[in-house]
Each structure stands twice: as structure tokens, then as C-alpha cells.
Amino acid sequence: MKVVFHEAFYPVYAADPAAAAGRMEAIMEVLTPAAEVVEPDPAGKAQIAAVHTAAHIEWVKSEGVYEVAALAAGGAILTAETGLKEPCFAAIRPPGHHASSDSAWGFCYFNNMAVALTHLKKKGKIDTAYVLDIDLHYGDGTVEILGAKDWATVYNVAAAGRSTIMKRIRIEMETCRADVIGVSAGFDNHEKDWGGTLTTDDYRKIGRMVKTATLHCGGGCFALLEGGYNHRVLGQNALALMEGMQGGY
């Protein structure tokens, strides 16, 4: 499986857990031996402006994070394009699912998922898209941007308890029909992270459910890194999701 990553994601860019030193190192230390690493280019101004207002873009620039945020959005685009052919994972930051069209919070700046899927749609590469957000926190930004689109479906796993979460994902994937499934891959619901709920093998099972859904609807799949803050388990959880999306056990 290809992993989209750039060394510019290593440096600390803000005082928040998503930018903490060692986070990306913990992921890439595990993923690099198992994958082909591909470097992205930054998203273009028009690609970002397709989902964000001019005022919001100016605010991101004022925060001094435009370059790394645009690179993350470009990584999401490359990951989504690759996902149409084969499963692909984006080890990118800043994350994006709390970024709305004209505001952002929760360590996010640009909505990487919305930028990527809107790009695919505008280029005529997809007719429909499905977003499975497995982060501990509700992806309000993705819902605000894509929720009202007739070509996109956004599902946030808002449930208490491991069995309920897994059941709801299974039902969603069994009924999903879309040209591409994008996973907002937050790993902060892990039993040793903030959520204290899912196991590492659960992420592997989620990946398999996504892969099976793509086989049923003849589409592709990809995943974008969102949350996940325990560096000791983050890489293994990302690897498990990747293995599942490849159909592995």
C-alpha cells in the first residue's frame, strides 16, 4: 500500500497535540517498512478555495501555517486519487475534519477530506463519495461542507461502547454505495488513547469492512490521518487499518 507523507510534517508547527513532537515519527517508524512512501505537492489555491472562503484562507495565513496546511490538503488529494486505483493512507498533518468553510478548531485548518473529494468530483473522477469518520470527535467541519451535497454521504461514528461502534460501521459498510470511500482516520478512540474504546485489531476489522464495501460497489478507498495522540500505539493502529484496507488479516 502507498503512504502519502512529506518530511515537512515532522516539525512542530503549533502548540497542540496534533503538532506534538514525535507524533509523525511514531507513525512513520511503523509504516515505512510496510509501504511505499509517496511525497505530495501542496494543494493549489483554487483547490482550497473550492471549499473554503477567502476570509478563512487569509486567517490560516495569519496563523503562519498556510504552507503546511496546503501541503496536507495536497497530500489528501494525492491519496484520494491513488485510492481510486488502490487503497492508500495519508500520514498528513494538520488534520482537517473540524475545519468548516469559514472557520476551524480542534487543531484543524483546511478540511483535507472535503478538498480531496471536491477535487475528484470537479475533475469528473467520481459521481458519489462516502466519508466514514471514525475519530473520537464528531467531524463537524466535514458535515458543514459536504453534508448537504447530493453526491456525498458523511457518517460519523457517534456511539458509546466498542460493540455498538463496530456494529454501526458494519451496517454502514454493508449498505454503502459510492464511487469512493474516504476514511477520516482518527485513532483517538483506541483503548490506550483518549477514547479508551477500540482495540488495534478493531481498526484492522474496520479496514476490511471498508475494503469489502468497495468490492461490492466497484469503487475505491483511502484514509486520511485525523486524531490519535498516544505515540506508543498510533503507528500500530494506522498499520492495522492499512492492512485491513488491503484485505489482509
Which residues are identified as catalytic?
Answer: 98
Backbone angles phi, psi at 152, to 5 degrees: -125, 145
Residues 171, 134: contact at Cβ < 8 Å?
no
Cα angle 6, 248, 118 (rounded to 5 degrees) comes to 45
**Helix (H) / strand (E) containing 88:** strand 88-90
Contacts of 160 (CB under 8 A, 6+ apart): none
Burial, 227: exposed, middle or buried (Cβ in 10 Å; 0-12, 13-18, 19+)?
A: buried
Residues 177, 217: contact at Cβ < 8 Å?
yes
Please provide the DSSP assignment of 191-211 as one string: TTSSS--B-HHHHHHHHHHHH
